[in-house]
A and B are shown apart, each in its own frame.
Chain A
């Protein structure tokens, strides 16, 4: 078996990292859908189709990004409490390995945005924090708070991560640990979506020693 791909090493490395990351995302997606169905959760099929749709949207958006286009969203009222709750529900299967505590106000928190893209972004971030926590048998925490703006925090209690590595998050090809899958392409997308909602994402060390991700909307 041989082929003649006319591309340099860096090009091949870029493709490898992209393919590996997306194979992993799809593998997770299959696991999530299977879990939904096995547990006979209400609306399991709708949830599964939603995750699939959001991932498809991510790929379309990234493809437009590489065409040089700026991501445009068509804002409408979105209740962030529902979005984050749906993400936590999708992660339920994996939270057996990294228990997840959730703190959210009961009332709706409305922003103007794109619910499917925000759902995908919080799923990407939560999956990363969860995988990192599960790697070291730690816990994770998700909180939604309203102050001057809106803040969604996703953090874990470890394993420890250096500032140098944190600074690299969001770079395509990056992975938190050698044993964990790449997450850079997905974080690049998360960054674009949050920016299109006039928000920011910050990655820091958590006070408990792990990773702390904060998404803020003004």
Chain B
């Protein structure tokens, strides 16, 4: 199907604009992290760059399927969520020099059966959101990541950013929802995160954080082998 650029529906233009702004922000942040590492004389971690790009490319390819409510084909294998959380935190270290990030892993390793590329992207998106919103709103921003294991494996991402009014908490994770227009984002990240987690038999939930901002709660079932 072809589209006449001058006759796109207004809603299509709005969504495209959001996508473009969000994608451009994601990539320019990545370039900024690389520039920062170069300026500091640190080696460029190309494996990390490739991992992020691959995961982002998978996200873009997945979204049309999810828009059509089609299932994702997951490539599951045993994954240590503790290692993944450390990798995400490490990949954003440049940004966490402005907004300190405390990482607390209460169970190491924490095994799940999951699609590594997609789950990496989901955790990265949630942590980036926390960092982004906190950075935009305040100079003394703070992010905390917790991993704990109980009946399921849980990752809690807390920030002291603006938070989300209780009225909207239940709506987070629906497609194209934007709460703060001045902060870059496509409005699709949390929708994607929710779909990927649900496809894993997990869930994405939101609540008020003890830090004053938003708490994102990611839950995933244990790996079958670890519960057997």
User: Do A63 and B27 touch across chains, with their CB atoms under 8 A apart?
Assistant: no
Name the contact of A7 in the complex, choosing from B5, B12, B60 (C-beta under 8 A). Answer: B12
User: Given that A3-B69, A56-B31 are known contacts, is A11 also in contact with B3, CB under 8 Å in the complex?
Assistant: no
Contacts of B67 in A (CB 8 A): 3, 5, 12, 15-16
Name which residue of chain B comes closest to A7, CB basis: B11
Q: Are A33 and B57 in contact (CB under 8 A)?
A: no
A43 to B: closest C-beta gap in Å = 12
**A173 near B61 (CB under 8 angstroms)?**
no
Cα A34 to Cα B49 with chains together (Å): 10
A selection of 14 A-B contacts at a CB cut-off of 8 Å is: A1-B66, A6-B11, A7-B176, A8-B9, A12-B67, A14-B8, A19-B64, A22-B60, A52-B53, A56-B28, A56-B31, A60-B24, A62-B20, A66-B13
| Residues of B close to A188: CB separation below 8 A | 5
B49-79 CB contacts (< 8 Å) to partner A: 49-50, 53-54, 56-58, 60-61, 63-64, 66-67, 69, 71
Instruction: Give Cα A15 to B54, complex, Å.
Output: 20
> CA A6 – CA B16 in complex, angstroms?
15
Measured between beta carbons, the chain A residues less than 8 angstroms from B28 are: 53, 56, 60
For B71, list chain A residues within 8 Å (CB).
Answer: 1
Cα–Cα, bound, A117→B51 (Å): 25
Q: Please encode chain A, from 1 to 39, with 1 for each CB lying within 8 Å of some chain B CB and 0 for all others.
A: 111111110111111111110110011011001100100
B15 at the interface (CB under 8 A from A): yes
Q: Is the CB of A10 within 8 A of B9?
A: yes
Which parts of B19-33 form the interface with A (CB within 8 Å)?
Answer: 19-21, 23-24, 27-28, 30-31
Knowing A11-B11, A15-B15, A45-B44 are in contact, say whether A173-B3 is a contact too (CB < 8 A). Answer: yes
11 more contacts with CB within 8 A, not counting A20-B64, A52-B30, A66-B17, are: A1-B69, A1-B71, A7-B11, A8-B9, A10-B9, A20-B61, A49-B31, A55-B27, A62-B20, A173-B2, A184-B2
B50 and A30 within 8 A (CB)? yes
Give the complex CA separation of A62 and B9 in angstroms: 17
- Is the C-beta of B108 less than 8 angstroms from some C-beta in chain A? no
Which 6 A-B pairs give the minimum distances between C-beta atoms?
A63-B20, A56-B27, A26-B57, A23-B60, A59-B24, A23-B61
Q: Which residue of A lies closest to B174 (CB)?
A: A3
Q: Which A residues are in CB contact (< 8 Å) with B140?
A: none
Q: Let me know if B2 and A18 touch, CB within 8 A.
A: no
**B:160-211 near A, CB below 8 Å:** 174-176, 191, 195, 198-199
